[in-house]
Amino acid sequence: MQEINIRPMRERDIPEIGNIERLCFPSPWTSQLFALELKREGFAYYWIIELKGKVVGYAGYWKIQDEAHIVTFAIHPLYRGRGLGKILLDYILKDIQNRGIKKVTLEVRESNKVAQRLYEKFGFKKIAIRPRYYQDKNEDAFIYWKIL
């Protein structure tokens, strides 16, 4: 059995988060941006998933009135395929629901088929396209939506 722990992200996690961010995204968030996000109490919520005490992924969402917007979600490439993304997504969706939020939205790259399949397994529906949303590769974003 895997030893998995999910907990709130802390400032001391940022170096490890930054490493995962750079491995997962062509235009990674900076350490300064993560530090700023962690100070946005009551608006921004960030979680990390650990495997045997090692940070292997993270997710974050913003609470905007009556909905949540998942702004980041990543699992370290070496730890993918173990169900950690499912565990983390299930956890944050329960956290969102426990805060009384019923609507969840997110954007995902058109090329990120693995993430799209994960979100669709959890009942997210593709509702729109943001043309050229990801400017680093001039790539469209699919907008996904879910009612909890």
Give the pairing of strands 103-109 and 67-75: parallel
pLDDT digits (tens, 9 = 90+) for 77-99: 999 999 999 999 999 999 999 99
User: What angle separates helix 84-98 from helix 113-121, to the nearest 10 degrees?
Assistant: 50
Number of domains in the chain: 1
Q: How does residue 145 score in pLDDT terms, banded at 50, 70 and 90?
A: very high
Q: What is the percentage of the chain residues whose pLDDT exceeds 90?
A: 93
What angle do helix axes 31-38 and 14-24 make, rounded to 10 degrees? 120
Q: How does pLDDT run across 58-79, given as a tens digit for each residue?
A: 999 999 999 999 999 999 999 9
Q: What CATH number is associated with residue 99? A: 3.40.630.30
